[in-house]
Amino acid sequence: MKKILVITHQASSETGLVGQILQAEGCWLDIRCPATGVSLPDHLDAHDGVVIFGGPMSANDDTTLPFIRDELNWIPLVLEAQKPFLGICLGAQMLARVLGAKVAPHPDDWREIGYATIQPMPHQANPLAGLTHVYHWHKEGFELPQDAVLLATGDHFANQAFRYGSSTYGLQFHPEITQSMIDRWTTEAADQLDFPGAQPRECQFQAHDHHGVSVATWLQQFLPQWLSPSLPDQ
């Protein structure tokens, strides 16, 4: 049984479809939330992969939120161990920062909240090929790190997904989203829906009904490939 270290950023955070699929694949999830004082391991000998999820804070909050600085300091340990790493939204932005790239808000204060299109790059064996509509909830984006491979781009935030090495991925979007998570996020953070770029709550539910199955199908294919040590370095 593979053991996956999962990092969340709120006590109420959910692993959604990512957690469901990993568990269905026989993985055991070691879920830790540094924001609540839970420590991270000083080595990864007992873990087979790492997922860092999103959160309402910024990857640039390392001067005001000690756990963000702790995670930024810790991510190189994962890279050095060459364990599969998946950063989602905030997790991808922290990965980008660790790799020397800038994370910043959209210059027009634009949000991507709700379903939006992405365009997978025409790389051979791009694992995002065919994935066109995904769920977002963010106001910041990341530059493409040096030596990273851009896997998908978008209209308002150009860099939507990248791979670094063979099994380190950063995704700006939220493939883990479920209908119940959309319900909770749009309820608890309803004020964010007033910003430019945010879709109305009902539009998000309608889009999820239309696109959720295809994202789940993609995720069921992607996660086993991500965990596979034989994944080629394109």
Q: Are 51 and 84 in contact (CB under 8 A)?
A: no
pTM: 0.95
pLDDT at 232: 42
User: Secondary structure of the chain in the HEC alphabet?
Assistant: CCEEEEECCCCCCCCHHHHHHHHHCCCEEEEECHHHCCCCCCCCCCCCEEEECCCCCCCCHHHCCHHHHHHHHHHHHHHHHCCCEEEECHHHHHHHHHCCCCEEECCCCCCEEEEEECEECCCCCCCCCCCCEEEEEECEEECCCCCCEEEEECCCCCEEEEEECCCEEEECCCCCCCHHHHHHHHHHCHHHHHCCCECCHHHHHHHHHHHHHHHHHHHHHHHHHHHCCCCCCC
Domains of the chain: 3-227 (3.40.50.880)
| pLDDT for 233 | 43
pLDDT per residue, tens digit, the chain (234 aa), is: 999 999 999 999 999 999 999 999 999 999 999 999 999 999 999 999 999 999 999 999 999 999 999 999 999 999 999 999 999 999 999 999 999 999 999 998 899 999 999 999 999 889 999 999 999 999 999 999 999 999 999 999 999 999 999 999 999 999 999 999 999 999 999 999 999 999 999 999 999 999 999 999 999 999 999 998 554 444
Per-residue pLDDT at 192: 96
Q: What is the pLDDT of residue 77?
A: 97
pLDDT of residue 228: 85
